[in-house]
């Protein structure tokens, strides 16, 4: 809904706006994303989107520092919101900005179906497999 502080009655500038398909927490900084098409993870992960959240730096209660999964239907449309897939880069109970254990940023999937995730705070690349 348009903000009446900035629009006049009858103003139709927002009539063609497309609302987001998936809402995400502000200041989470989604930097990397990848579609999964491999066979290393179970079939229900195929054709889903994985998003790396770098994290906030200017919030009293930090957000981000995780990987989320967005499930897609057979037409490529999101089903529900984003769900946590990997967490743990934010120190437990930490509420002060700048106190993280890592910052996930880039996601790619190898030819073997394994997820590779870069962490620019830790200077490492994680190889993520599915335990069967």
Residue 80 DSSP symbol: S
> Is a pLDDT exceeding 90 seen at residue 106?
yes
Domain count, the chain: 1
Domain presence at residue 12 = no
Phi-psi region of 72 (alpha: psi -120 to 50; beta: other; left: phi over 0): beta
> Is a pLDDT exceeding 70 seen at residue 96?
no
Whether the Cβ atoms of residue 66 and residue 87 lie closer than 8 Å to each other = yes
Domain presence at residue 6 = no
Domain presence at residue 81 = yes
Give 107's strand partners. 117
Domain presence at residue 112 = yes
Domain presence at residue 13 = no
What is the predicted pLDDT for the residue at 100? 67
Q: Which residues constitute the domain of residue 66?
A: 30-128
What is the predicted pLDDT for the residue at 93? 66
């Amino acid at each position: 809904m348009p903000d009446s502080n900035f629009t006049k009655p009858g103003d139709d500038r927002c009539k063609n706006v497309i609302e987001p398909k998936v809402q995400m927490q502000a200041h989470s900084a989604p930097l990397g994303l990848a579609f999964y098409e491999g066979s290393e993870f179970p079939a229900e992960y195929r054709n889903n989107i994985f998003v790396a959240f770098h994290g906030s730096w200017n919030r009293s209660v930090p957000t981000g520092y995780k990987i989320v999964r967005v499930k897609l239907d057979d037409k490529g449309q999101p089903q529900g919101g984003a769900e946590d897939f990997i967490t743990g880069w934010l120190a437990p109970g930490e509420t002060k900005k700048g106190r993280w254990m890592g910052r996930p940023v880039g996601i790619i999937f190898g030819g073997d179906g394994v997820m590779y995730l870069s962490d620019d705070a830790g200077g490492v690349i994680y190889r993520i497999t599915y335990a069967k």
